Amino acid sequence: MEKVKVGIVGVGGIAQDRHIPLLMEHPQAEVTTLFDVRLDLAEQVAQTFNIAHVATSYDTLFDQVDAVVICTPNKFHSEIAIAALNAGVHVLCEKPMAISKKECDDMIEAAKKHHKILTVAYHYRFTDVAIEAKRRIDEGVVGSPVVSRIQALRHRKVPGWGVFTNKALQGGGCLIDYGCHVLDLVLWLLQITQPTEVSGRTYNKLSKQPHQINDWGEFDHETFNVEDHATSYIVFDNDATLQFECSWAANINSDKLDISISGEKGGLQLFPFEVYEPRNGEYLIHQQDITLNEDKAAERQTDNFIKSCLGIETPVVKMEEARRVSQIIEAIYESNEKKQTIQL
Ligand X SMILES: NC(=O)c1ccc[n+]([C@@H]2O[C@H](COP(=O)([O-])OP(=O)(O)OC[C@H]3O[C@@H](n4cnc5c(N)ncnc54)[C@H](O)[C@@H]3O)[C@@H](O)[C@H]2O)c1
**Residues contributing to the site for ligand X (CB under 6 A):** 9-15, 35-38, 41, 71-74, 76, 94-95, 121, 123, 162-163, 177
> Shortest approach of ligand X to residue 191 CB, angstroms?
23
Torsion sign across C-alpha atoms 151, 97, 294, 141: positive
CB of 140 to ligand X, least distance (A): 31
Nearer residue to ligand X within complex by CB, 15 or 85: 15
Beta strands in 176-250 (DSSP E): 195-203, 229-236, 241-247
**Helices (DSSP H) in 191-318: which residue ranges?**
294-309
| Residue number, 14 or 342, with CB nearest to ligand X | 14
User: Mapping DSSP to helix (H, G, I), strand (E, B) and coil, where does residue 35 land?
Assistant: strand
Question: Which residue has its beta carbon closest to ligand X?
Answer: 12
- H-run or E-run covering 31: strand 29-35
Question: Which helix (H) or strand (E) is 71 found in, with range?
Answer: none
Torsion of CA 105, 117, 192, 174, to 10 degrees: -70
What span, in angstroms and rounded, lies between the C-alpha atoms of 285 and 278? Answer: 9
CB of residue 73 vs ligand X: minimum separation in angstroms? 5
Closest to 115 in 3D by CA, of 99, 91, 96: 91
Is 129 or 275 the residue whose CB approaches ligand X more closely? 129
Nearest CB to ligand X, comparing residues 76 and 276: 76
Nearer to ligand X, 81 or 342 (CB): 81
φ/ψ (deg, to 5) at 27: -65, -20
Shortest distance, position 240 Cβ to ligand X, whole Å? 27
Beta bridge partners of 156: 249
CB closer to ligand X, 184 vs 342: 184
Shortest Cβ 287–ligand X spacing (Å): 27
Identity of the residue, 54 or 234, whose beta carbon is nearer to ligand X in the bound complex: 54
Q: How far is the CB of 14 from ligand X (least distance, A)?
A: 4
Contacts of residue 79, defined as CB under 8 A and 6 or more positions apart, other chains included, come to none
Minimum Å gap between C-beta 94 and ligand X is 4
Q: Indicate the SS3 state at residue 150.
A: strand
The residue (of 68 and 310) whose beta carbon lies closer to ligand X is 68
C-alpha span between 249 and 207 (Å, rounded): 7
Report the alpha-carbon distance of residue 148 to residue 232 in Å, rounded: 12
- Phi first, then psi: give them for residue 30, nearest 5 degrees: -140, 120
Q: Which is nearer to ligand X, 41 or 235 (CB)?
A: 41
Q: For Cα atoms 146, 151, 156, give the angle at the middle one, nearest 5 degrees.
A: 175
Nearest-approach distance from CB 205 to ligand X, in angstroms: 23
Q: How many CA atoms lie within 13 A of 263 on its CB side?
A: 22
Min CB(157)–ligand X separation in Å: 12
Alpha helix (H) residue ranges in the chain: 13-14, 20-25, 39-49, 58-62, 77-86, 101-114, 128-139, 167-170, 174, 180-190, 294-309, 319-338
